[in-house]
Structure 1
Amino acid sequence: MMNSPPPRAEFKRGVKDCLPVIIGMLPFALILGVQGGQKGMSALEMSMMTGLNFAGGSEFAAVGLWGSPLPVLLIITVTFMINSRHILMGAALTPYLKDLPLKKALPALFFMTDESWAMSLADIHKRKQLGLPLFSLPYYMGVSLTLYVVWVAFTGIGAAVGPRFGDVEAWGFGMAFPAVFLVLLRGLWKGFAAARPWLVSLAVAAAVYLTVDGAWYVPAGAAAGLLTAYFLGDKVGDKA
């Protein structure tokens, strides 16, 4: 097995690889910040919220529920439901983190988000083909820290200028995140057989979203995908 490149080079590679993702992420960070600012949140409050709960979708849900009086229990519940996907994402990374000491694994998981998770799995696949150690913590942190700093900074900027704008969703920036996830999906694509759990998860999540109020489509889609992967795992492995 080949030796991994130096940590500094790996960190820089992670920063470089995530730059295209940042282009799609910036509009969403600004939109979230603007919405928070219009709800009365200061730039500091918005940056603290996004810094402590680095999870994208649940932050939008929290800002959408923000009001007076503040529905704290409802916000906590919805945040937990939406962030439940991180349990599955963390489980998928566990085989590659098992040799890391806890003091390194826990910070790595704190900074994990959808984009860094997907990019790391794609990088693991590339490193396997090159005969390198599968998981590169410097690369992962290069991706994760860059996304974290940019997200927190621009949500704060959005909150600072938010009261000056109208309905920013009407500007059409909402397509930015779906476009980013389609690119990430392409990097993980291994054929339709391996994608069946994803497709089932998508179908179930869409059906629940259209028929049930609230954020139940998130755990429903995650559970459907997990069950599909469990029951079809052997068949997918045989065809891979």
Structure 2
Amino acid sequence: MTPEETGKAYDTITHRWTRPEFNQKNGITAYQKALSFLPHTPQSEQDRVHSRAPNEGDAHSKRKTQEYGYALDIGCGCTNRFVPIIESNGLTYEGIDVSNDMLAIAKSQLPAHTFYCADVCTFTLTKHYSFISAWDSFWHIPLAQQAPLLKKLVDHLVDDGVLLFSCGGTTESGEHTNKVMGPEVYYASLGLHGYIALLMDAGCFVRHVEFDQHPELHTIIIVQKRVE
């Protein structure tokens, strides 16, 4: 299945996330942990740069100051439940999803926020981010596109930026579809060792790995971009 087909499948099941019994705390603990690894707030970075002598304000420092403070939520869905915790860390929230209907709900609740309806694999990222997350969405990325996408995301992290995503912590790489939620939906995983090896090669330090729903293979990975 293509990401566009996955988006159309999710268009038919938005009710699963808007019903009262949906657990709005799902994933919050993982976000709290991931955000705790950020070295400083955007404001403290601004203060640090502005406190330098004039000749210390080189172009690189100015670029980092302008870019620091953005967060990208991949497969953001419709609940907006991660927005408050992200913004409480001084970050400017942006969401991206392939489901038109999911985004319509999200935008109706937060009309002043930035949301992109697009396939993140082909979407052109125009800035660097302090924090990038993909909660229960990365496994819908086609298997062949997962490695290139992870490298792309790491490339668009600022120095010391943090990446959080949940994935299938399988032993081997693989892909399949099922109809557990109703429509047919695609899932894929590079395998736990595949993810870790790729992220380390891309210049990341592994901060946290957890099978948070054991014995299910639902896995949290948090990495931080190393400063060269």
- TM-score (normalised: structure 2): 0.33
Q: Which has the higher contact order (CA 8 A, sep 6+)?
A: 1
Per the normalisation by structure 1, the TM-score is 0.32
Q: Over alpha carbons, which structure has the higher Rg?
A: 1
Q: Which structure is higher in strand share?
A: 2
